[in-house]
């Protein structure tokens, strides 16, 4: 487990035109431009990458770097960066009306692994990481008494001593000035260990397999597991009569005898002292077998014949697989038969349609060039007698 403890602080000006800001990861850092106002435009850069521009004549313009998403304006010209990351360390440039102001952001972190109180005699590591330093800058640790502990940002405490308790300092320099960050270390005694191994009754340290009463003539195994013993310590079983049963923590009873009934003891030693743990064993006669299968009302039949799961020496899953496979084959056969019938029916229908078309073609009658029957002469209509002219009155002379 590793917990990082961060410490940060803001330092004063390094020069008239630049400052050094030391902060911790995840916190806010305010970078002051160096001027309170501007007459034309103000631009901010991070390691040469454009962050933001303020222009009194046009709208503000932002860059695409990650810092652009995490900054706010402090006053009119200063930047306030939230959620500082290690990659934010480095040089910041504020350009105002053609004049540049340089600033440096350092991100410092110190931690101990493991975290919390260190155990006396154990091993631990102190780490000090400073992002944004110049190449060649040194980082080293100093003990609580002020003496240097190596020339590295990593201090290996092997083993942890009482003198290591106190405030350690991570020392580093930048721009000709010395800086330090503190880390407090606490050392405590390890928890005392018991001189005797402890085994609890009812646990799985000592057991017999199978459990319960053992059948006469069967096979069984006694196990005795003791955790925390020194290398080379022996564990063995003793019979109920006190005689040793082998030189192992495992006792194989093959076959189970009447003399095995009683209290067995698992013997082991630790720190020059002998210990033992007891296990009671009961032995009984096996139940008599009958020549006829016995069934009990309301329960499944119990027969001496092989079970269905072992029919013909095959497992139940094999028979299930055979049944499923047979069912699939039958379904495939039925599908093939139905498909064949449908194909035949369709083929017959097509043949019949073809035959009908041929039959229609053969029944077309030819048209002979015969003169048409003479038309019957039209019967002459009787001439109607002219109607008598109307009588005209004669003129008298």
pLDDT digits over 149-162, tens only? Answer: 888 889 989 889 89
The answer, yes or no, to whether residue 194 has pLDDT greater than 70, is no
Residues 6+ apart with CB under 8 A from 179: 11, 22, 171, 172, 173
User: What number is the average pLDDT over the span 83-112?
Assistant: 88
Query: 268: helix, coil or strand?
Result: strand
User: What number is the average pLDDT over the span 188-212?
Assistant: 63
* Nearest alpha carbon to residue 279 among 261, 265, 289, 267: 265
With b for 16 or more beta-carbon neighbours within 10 A and e for fewer, the 340-379 pattern comes to eeeeeeeeeeeeeeeeeeeeeeeeeeeeeeeeeeeeeeee
Query: Could you report the per-residue pLDDT of 247-289, keeping only the tens digit for each?
Result: 788 888 888 888 889 998 998 888 778 888 888 888 888 877 6
Residues 6+ apart with CB under 8 A from 240: 259, 260, 261, 262, 263, 264, 281
Kindly report the average pLDDT of the chain as a whole number. 78
332 or 360: which leads in pLDDT: 332
Question: Residue 390 has which token pair?
Answer: 């109307």
Q: What phi-psi label fits residue 232: left (phi over 0), alpha (psi between -120 and 50 degrees) or beta?
A: left
Cα separation, 20 vs 103, whole angstroms: 6
Name the percent of the chain lying above pLDDT 70: 77
Q: Report the pLDDT value the prediction gives residue 336, as an integer from 0 to 100.
A: 94
Name the percent of the chain lying above pLDDT 90: 13
Number of neighbouring beta carbons within 10 Å of residue 37: 10
Residues 6+ apart with CB under 8 A from 367: none
| 206-210, 212-216, 292-296: the lowest-pLDDT one | 292-296
Query: Could you report the per-residue pLDDT of 325-355, keeping only the tens digit for each?
Result: 999 999 999 999 999 999 999 988 888 888 8
The answer, yes or no, to whether residue 391 has pLDDT greater than 50, is yes
Contact call for residues 25 and 138 (beta carbons, < 8 A): no
Cα separation, 317 vs 225, whole angstroms: 38
What does DSSP say about strands 118-119 and 187-188: parallel, antiparallel, or unpaired? parallel
Burial of 119 (0-12, 13-18, 19+ CB in 10 A): middle
Cis upstream peptide for 255 (omega within 30°): yes
Q: Report the pLDDT value the prediction gives residue 381, as an integer from 0 to 100.
A: 57
Q: Report the pLDDT value the prediction gives residue 337, as an integer from 0 to 100.
A: 95
* Nearest alpha carbon to residue 183 among 112, 237, 236: 112
Residues 6+ apart with CB under 8 A from 138: 151, 172, 173
Cα separation, 205 vs 225, whole angstroms: 5
308 or 140: which leads in pLDDT: 140
In this structure, what are the phi and psi dihedrals at residue 340, rounded to the nearest 5 degrees?
-65, -40
Query: Could you report the per-residue pLDDT of 31-84, keeping only the tens digit for each?
Result: 888 888 888 888 899 988 999 988 887 888 888 888 888 988 888 888 889 988
Question: Residue 87 has which token pair?
Answer: 């990659």
Contact call for residues 48 and 6 (beta carbons, < 8 A): no
Model confidence at 310, pLDDT cuts 50, 70, 90, reads: low
Q: Report the pLDDT value the prediction gives residue 343, as an integer from 0 to 100.
A: 93
The answer, yes or no, to whether residue 379 has pLDDT greater than 80, is no
Helix (H) or strand (E) holding 345: helix 316-362
Q: Report the pLDDT value the prediction gives residue 383, as an integer from 0 to 100.
A: 55
**Model confidence, pTM:** 0.43
Contact call for residues 21 and 105 (beta carbons, < 8 A): yes
Helix (H) or strand (E) holding 321: helix 316-362
User: What number is the average pLDDT over the span 163-187?
Assistant: 90
| 112-121, 311-320, 345-354: the lowest-pLDDT one | 311-320
Question: Residue 254 has which token pair?
Answer: 């093959």
385 or 327: which leads in pLDDT: 327
Q: What phi-psi label fits residue 52: left (phi over 0), alpha (psi between -120 and 50 degrees) or beta?
A: beta
User: What number is the average pLDDT over the span 93-117?
Assistant: 88
Q: Report the pLDDT value the prediction gives residue 198, as an integer from 0 to 100.
A: 45
Model confidence at 376, pLDDT cuts 50, 70, 90, reads: low
Number of neighbouring beta carbons within 10 Å of residue 235: 18
Query: 361: helix, coil or strand?
Result: helix
């Amino acid at each position: 487990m590793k917990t990082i403890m961060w410490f940060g602080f803001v330092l004063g000006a390094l020069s008239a035109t630049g400052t050094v800001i030391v902060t911790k990861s995840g916190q806010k850092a305010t970078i002051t431009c160096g001027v309170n106002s501007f007459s034309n435009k103000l631009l901010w850069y991070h390691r040469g990458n454009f962050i933001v521009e303020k222009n009194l004549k046009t709208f503000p313009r932002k860059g695409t770097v990650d810092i652009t998403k995490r900054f706010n304006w402090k006053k009119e010209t200063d930047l306030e960066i939230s959620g500082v990351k290690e990659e934010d360390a480095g040089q910041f440039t504020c350009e105002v009306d053609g004049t540049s102001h340089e600033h440096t952001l350092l991100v410092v972190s110190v931690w101990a692994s493991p975290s919390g109180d260190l155990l006396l005699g154990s091993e631990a590591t102190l780490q000090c990481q400073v992002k944004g330093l110049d190449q060649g800058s040194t980082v080293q640790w100093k003990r609580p008494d002020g003496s240097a502990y190596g020339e590295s940002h990593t201090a290996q405490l092997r083993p942890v001593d009482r003198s290591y308790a106190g405030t350690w300092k991570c020392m580093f320099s930048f721009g000709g000035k010395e800086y330090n960050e503190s880390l407090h270390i606490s050392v405590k005694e390890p928890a005392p260990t018991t001189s005797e191994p402890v085994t609890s009754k009812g646990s799985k340290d000592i057991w017999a397999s199978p459990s319960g009463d053992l059948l006469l003539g069967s096979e069984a195994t006694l196990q005795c597991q003791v955790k925390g013993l020194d290398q080379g310590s022996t564990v063995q079983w003793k019979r109920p009569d006190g005689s040793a049963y082998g030189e192992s923590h495992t006792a194989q009873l093959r076959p189970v005898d009447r003399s095995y009934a009683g209290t067995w003891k698992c013997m082991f030693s630790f720190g020059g002292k002998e210990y033992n743990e007891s296990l009671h064993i009961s032995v009984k006669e096996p139940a008599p077998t009958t020549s006829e299968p016995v069934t009990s009302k309301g329960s499944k039949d119990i027969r001496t014949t092989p079970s269905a799961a072992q029919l013909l020496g095959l497992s139940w899953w094999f028979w299930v697989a055979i049944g499923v496979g047979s069912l699939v084959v039958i379904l495939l056969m039925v599908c093939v038969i139905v498909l064949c019938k449908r194909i035949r029916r369709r083929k017959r229908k097509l043949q019949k349609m073809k035959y009908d078309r041929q039959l229609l073609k053969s029944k077309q009658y030819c048209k002979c060039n015969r003169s048409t029957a003479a038309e019957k002469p039209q019967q002459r209509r009787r001439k109607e007698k002219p109607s008598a002219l109307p009588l005209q009155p004669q003129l008298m002379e």
